[in-house]
Amino acid sequence: MVKVLPSLLASDFLKLGSDMKRMEEAGADIFHLDIMDGQFVPNISYGIPVCEAIAKKSNIPLDVHLMTEDPEQFVEEFAAMGVEYLSFHIEATSHAHRLITHIQSQGMKAGIVLNPSTPVEAINYVLDIVDFVLVMTVNPGFGGQSFIMSGVDKINELDELRRSKNLDFLIEVDGGVNEETGKLCREAGADLLVSGSFLFKSEDPKQTIMDIKEK
């Protein structure tokens, strides 16, 4: 069964605590936290102090998605908060192998993220050590964008690679996920589905999470 990860970027920040509670009660598996620095992507979201507040309040694991230059910064800070999954963009570093092992040495699962324009070949050399691969199905920086269909081929390609090479990394998908695009991702082999605007707009998030999981 896939896991559903509400992206807190889509919450009402003035009601972050109650939005988190609502998603936990609806059956959310993991919270997805988007860190944007205004450099790697043309937007700024929130930083370390807000993540610390979320970590204190959350009853489910946290998945931090760094959309930043210098993703090597702050690894220790996220580990100290008890973050379980930490991912960075391959486009933001030339030292992915070193960063993955550093994240893992801090007790976290390390993920590597592919922009829609970046081919799977760019991360071939770390597929044997990475814990998860995050396939972006929108250009990162904003919630509420439409799903880019070619992402489904990329999920298929990663799923085939992991079978043929007997690897065990998870496949996460982020951007424009709803019950229809989520189904395509599930069928292609995705394990973790992030949902922002679609899930937060729902009047019945419990049902929406179930729909993303199995409709």
Q: Annotated binding site for a divalent metal cation, which residues?
A: 32, 34, 65, 174
C-alpha count within 13 angstroms, C-beta hemisphere, residue 44: 6
Residue 91: closest CA among 127, 62, 116: 116
3-state helix, strand, coil in the chain (%, to 5): 45, 20, 35
Dihedral of the alpha carbons of 17, 36, 94, 150, in degrees to the nearest 10: 90
- For residue 210, give the amino acid letter: M
Does 89 bind Zn ion (CB under 5 A)? Our answer is no
| 37 is a catalytic site residue | no
How far apart are CB 113 and ligand DX5 at their closest, in Å?
9
Q: C-beta of 138: minimal distance to ligand DX5 in Å? A: 5
Considering CB distances under 5 to 8 angstroms, the limit depending on partner class, which of ligand DX5, Zn ion, none binds residue 195?
ligand DX5
Residues in 176-215 that interact with ligand DX5 by CB under 6 A? 176-177, 194-198
116 binds ligand DX5 (CB under 6 A): no
Q: Is 174 a catalytic residue?
A: yes
Residues at the binding site for substrate are 7, 65, 141-144, 174-176, 196-197
Count the alpha carbons within 13 Å of 40 in the hemisphere toward its beta carbon: 23
For ligand DX5, the closer of residues 27 and 144 by Cβ is 144
Gap between the terminal Cα atoms of the chain? 12
Name the active-site residue from 19, 63, 131, 174.
Answer: 174
In angstroms, the CA 127 to CA 133 distance is 8
Dihedral (Cα; 71, 65, 183, 25), 10-degree rounding: 160
Written as six digits, the tokens of 14 are: 């003035």
Assigned token pair, 32: 């997805």
Q: Is 67:41 a contact under the CB 8 Å cutoff?
A: yes
Q: Which one among 2, 19, 37, 65 touches ligand DX5, defined by CB under 6 A?
A: 65
Residue 58 near which of Zn ion, ligand DX5, none (CB within 5-8 Å, type-dependent): none
Residue with Cβ nearer ligand DX5 (128 or 180): 180
Pick the stretch among 14-22, 49-57, 143-151, 164-172 that binds ligand DX5 (CB under 6 A): 143-151
Positions marked catalytic: 34, 174
Residues found near Zn ion in the complex (CB under 5 A): 34, 65, 174
Residues found near ligand DX5 in the complex (CB under 6 A): 7, 9-10, 32, 34, 65, 138, 140-145, 174-177, 194-198
